[in-house]
Amino acid sequence: MIYARDVHDGVGGAPGARAAEPQEATVPVDPAHPREAVPPAPEPPAVAGSRTGTTGELDDLLLGGPRTLSARDLAERYDIDLDLVRTFWRTLGLPAAGDDDPLYTERDADAVRLAGALLRRHGLALPTVVTVVRSLGHTSDRLALWQVEALVEDMAARYGLDDTSARLLVLDRLKDLAPVLEQQLLHSYRRQLAAVADRYAAEFGEVRDQVGDAGQLPLARAVGFADMVSFTRRTAGLGSTDLSQFVQRFEAAARDVVVGAGGRVVKTIGDAVLFIADTPGVGARVALGLADAFGESLDVDAERGAGGLAEGARGVTPVRVGMVWGRVLSRFGDVFGPVVNLAARLTDAAEPSSVLVDASTAAVLGGDPRFVLERQPVRALAGVGEITPYRLSSAPSQR
């Protein structure tokens, strides 16, 4: 038997909640394609306990069949503790139910079996399995919502629908779109996993027999933040569509700059982006690229005409950038360590469209002819203390 009674996790949303009755949608014609009419909106989902119509079709497509199994059924089938089934489901972030309620499909059962195999066959510790499952639940929850909201926005704009009608149309179209999205997800995951393996092989392959300092964080990385200046003032008064498009354009443009310079986006935090790079030089190129892309080199008129960053906002949107080279801990898809906090504080202190680094990072970059470093007055940074920042810019030959 596999026991998991010492594991506790948050429980998802309450089961059995009734959804609001959807409004009846009209059926307009796409003005760009006069012959393409929007299909009738799907029937409202049936009450809890039955899965018919569109939701039943989606269950067949996405879940492989009806929900006929209970948590107790799964525990008995695979000879695992009932608490492991509960833990698996809660960790995925899905709504819970009673132990004897028919909530699970055969595909759910197979997923529980594979989670048990991580413990039994592969010897992973239970906390590790919980972390792995939680990463899947957290990422796929956000991904599914992100993609569905993008589809809702597309349907509303393409067919001139109100929000409710657009959501009902997406519900009807999911059975056709889901297989394509699923294949794209699998391909993206495999490519990202291969990229991680490549980076690990390049970084650690030649130091296999070296013993590191147990007291230091494991990864040497350039860490930086790019924070939009006066985000609240610049977006005040924008409607939901304009605000959504503005934020999407900023995130997309920032990701393009970071990836194009050789870095990686860790996450976006409201009006800021956190990035990392494997070398100080790449980190500096990313930081300067962000400051430049949202600063002096931004052609406001051209961007407005092409639907760029300036459209829908009050003028250009410069960013402040702070970047530090140091050691970090990578966990849960995020990075941690004192250098992360220092980079954030340097970002707060930077002028619009400029990059600040600390003295240690300046010393590392000092011999690189691509960069110019200018010492700045001593600053007292909250949570850090007094430091001497340096302004980073590109050498004239690089401009």
Within a domain: 302: yes
Domain containing 190: what range? 53-199
Q: Which of 133, 164, 199 is the last residue of a domain?
A: 199
pLDDT of residue 200: 86
> Do 83 and 154 fall within a single domain?
yes
Same domain, 231 and 160: no
Provide the pairing of β-strand 272-277 with 219-228.
antiparallel
- Let me know whether 178 and 252 are in one domain: no
181 is a domain residue:
yes
Percentage, residues of the chain above pLDDT 90: 58
pLDDT on residue 60: 87
Q: CATH no. for residue 322? A: 3.30.70.1230
Q: Is residue 213 part of a domain?
A: no
Please identify, among 167, 199, 231, the residue that sits at the C-terminal boundary of a domain. Answer: 199
Confidence of residue 209 (pLDDT cuts 50, 70, 90): low
Q: What is the pLDDT of residue 296?
A: 57
**Predicted local confidence at residue 310, as pLDDT:** 44
**pLDDT digit string, tens, across residues 38-96:** 445 444 444 344 456 777 888 888 998 899 999 999 999 999 999 999 999 999 999 88
Shared domain for 149 and 288, answered yes or no, is no
Instruction: Give the model's pLDDT for residue 383.
Output: 85
Task: Please answer whether residues 310 and 300 qualify as being in contact, where contact means their C-beta atoms are separated by less than 8 angstroms.
Answer: yes
Can you tell me the distance from the alpha carbon of 387 to that of 385, in angstroms, rounded to the nearest whole number? 6
On whether residue 65 sits in a domain, the answer given is yes
pLDDT tens for each residue of 107-141: 999 999 999 999 989 999 999 999 999 999 999 99
In a domain, 353, yes or no: yes
Interval 350-370: pLDDT, tens: 999 999 999 999 999 998 999
Q: Does 249 share its domain with 132? A: no
Output the pTM of the full model. Answer: 0.68
Same domain, 265 and 185: no
pLDDT value of position 231: 83
Reported as a single tens digit per residue, the pLDDT across 272-282 is 999 999 999 99
pLDDT of residue 51: 59
161 and 28 Cβ atoms separated by less than 8 Å: yes
223 and 179 both lie in a single domain: no
For residue 341, give both structure tokens: 């906090």
Q: How many domains does the chain have?
A: 2
Supply the mean pLDDT for the chain.
82
Name the residue with higher pLDDT: 204 or 264.
264
Q: Give the separation between CA 67 and CA 51, rounded to whole angstroms.
A: 9
| Interatomic CA distance for residues 66 and 254, integer angstroms | 43
Burial of 126 (0-12, 13-18, 19+ CB in 10 A): middle
On whether both 184 and 279 belong to a single domain, the answer is no
- 238 and 340 in a common domain: yes
Confidence grade of residue 271 (pLDDT, cut at 50, 70, 90): confident
Q: Are residues 286 and 314 in the same domain?
A: yes
Question: Looking at residue 29, what is its pLDDT?
Answer: 43
On whether both 165 and 268 belong to a single domain, the answer is no
Select from 196, 223, 347 the least CA-distant residue to 277: 223
Both 153 and 271 in one domain: the answer is: no
Per residue in 160-169, pLDDT (tens digit) is 999 999 999 9
